[in-house]
Amino acid sequence: MNTAFLDAVNLAWKIHHVESGFADRHILTSYESERKLIAENLLDFDARYAKLFSTRLPSAGEVGSANAQAAATAAQQHEPEENEFVKTFKASCEFTSGYGVAYNPNLFNWSPFHPAQSPLFLQYQHGTLLRTGRILTPANVTRVVDANIVHLEQEVPLNGSFRIYIFAGRPTVTQRALADFCIHLTAPRSFFSTYSYPAAEKDKVSYHERHNPHSSFFTFCTVFSAPRSSVSITSMLPPVLARYRDHVYVDDVWDQRVPNAKAAAHTKMGLDESRGGIVVVRPDGYVGCVVKLVEGKGTVEALDGYFGAFVQKKIGGEAALL
């Protein structure tokens, strides 16, 4: 049943993007290529697990003899004993929990073979610990507007939007990079400008809209590596990001998985605590790409390239001038 839910979500957001005019129709073919592999893995696991359940239980005498022999062998090898059922369960727990789903590289899951090419894209263990095609690593952060500790990955509802997480590092280090990012983000041919609401609809957007004030195609979350008391949303963020005031956070929550980290969420993502980075997460919660946050236009150009691989309208590049 869990797999069926993920099947539905995978197909639903892709249909939504096609019907909304965001993406080309050919993206629908990725539903089968992504979910068929997961279904095959499920059937394989099911067969192995069912076989273990249906295997004849050993007699008490057989168990005692086997335990004594296994204990002696384990003592000689200095290894703990573990039966096949426990081994299978432990090996598959990531898959059965849903966190072990891993999609292969495609237009949504960046790889070195993706149409978008830029030295700013980061790969697993080469600038980030995140893997494209896998679920975003859970992390706790503090929301600036109300000081509540929240689960970052749950802050944006499952509403069909791409989630763009800006890990902004230390404000003193990334101030210029953030300013440049917003300047080029709002350029006429960027993905942001191309897929923002038409002028006639902008005035209809509620002041209280938290998640999609500019477009239902994307939403932004900004995470600073700084104390909450030092963050002023209006003065530290350009207006385009300050509009997402309810999605501005500070990375100040201690995490036992990275006990020595000063910014646990940055560290768990494998991003530099000072310089940060940008993580694009698909509408179904899986990582699409990870990009360096740098001064200049390179970061936005990399994102334009990523989105340009599957959106319907042409984005990025220089406009022709007469």
Mean pLDDT of the residues in the chain: 90
129-133 long-range contacts (CB < 8 A, ≥24 apart) are 129/268, 129/269, 129/270, 130/269, 130/270, 130/279, 130/287, 130/290, 131/102, 131/287, 132/105, 132/286, 132/287, 132/288, 132/289, 132/290, 133/102, 133/103, 133/104, 133/105, 133/108, 133/109, 133/286, 133/287
Q: Could you tell me which residues are beta bridge partners of residue 121?
A: 291
Q: Which residues of the chain does CATH 3.40.30.20 include?
A: 123-308
Cβ proximity of 197 and 184 under 8 Å: no
Over 98-143, what HEC string results? CCCCCCCCCCCCCCCCCCCCCCCECEECEEECCCCCCECCCCEEEE
Which stretch of 7-16, 33-42, 140-149, 279-288 has the lowest confidence by average pLDDT?
33-42
- Stretch 182-186: mean pLDDT, rounded? 97
Q: Which pair of structure tokens corresponds to residue 299? A: 């970061």
C-alpha span between 212 and 201 (Å, rounded) = 12
> Does pLDDT of 136 surpass 80?
yes
- Stretch 163-168: mean pLDDT, rounded? 98
What is the reported pLDDT for 55? 72
- Stretch 262-267: mean pLDDT, rounded? 97
Task: For CA atoms 269, 126, 241, 226, give the dihedral sign.
Answer: positive
C-alpha span between 147 and 123 (Å, rounded) = 33
**Tens of pLDDT along 297-322?**
999 999 999 999 999 999 987 654 44
By CB neighbour count within 10 A (0-12 exposed, 13-18 middle, 19+ buried), where does 68 fall?
Answer: exposed
What is the reported pLDDT for 80? 55
3-state DSSP assignment of residue 210 = coil
Cβ proximity of 237 and 248 under 8 Å: yes
Which stretch of 77-81, 83-87, 190-194, 235-239 has the lowest confidence by average pLDDT?
77-81
- Stretch 227-244: mean pLDDT, rounded? 96
| Helix %, strand %, coil % of the chain (to 5) | 45, 15, 45
C-alpha span between 169 and 223 (Å, rounded) = 7
- Stretch 112-129: mean pLDDT, rounded? 96
C-alpha span between 251 and 167 (Å, rounded) = 9
pTM over 0.95: no
3-state DSSP assignment of residue 24 = coil
Which stretch of 84-98, 161-175, 238-252 has the lowest confidence by average pLDDT?
84-98
- DSSP states along 75-87: HHHT-----HHHH
3-state DSSP assignment of residue 172 = helix
Confidence of residue 101 (pLDDT cuts 50, 70, 90): confident
CATH superfamily of domain region 123-308: Phenol hydroxylase, C-terminal dimerisation domain (3.40.30.20)
Question: What percent of the chain shows pLDDT beyond 90?
Answer: 74
C-alpha span between 319 and 322 (Å, rounded) = 10
- Stretch 145-164: mean pLDDT, rounded? 97
- Stretch 232-241: mean pLDDT, rounded? 96
**Tens of pLDDT along 26-73?**
999 999 999 999 888 888 888 887 887 777 555 566 556 656 665 666
Look at 69 and 12; give whichever has higher pLDDT. 12
C-alpha span between 140 and 149 (Å, rounded) = 7
What is the reported pLDDT for 203? 84
Cβ proximity of 280 and 108 under 8 Å: no
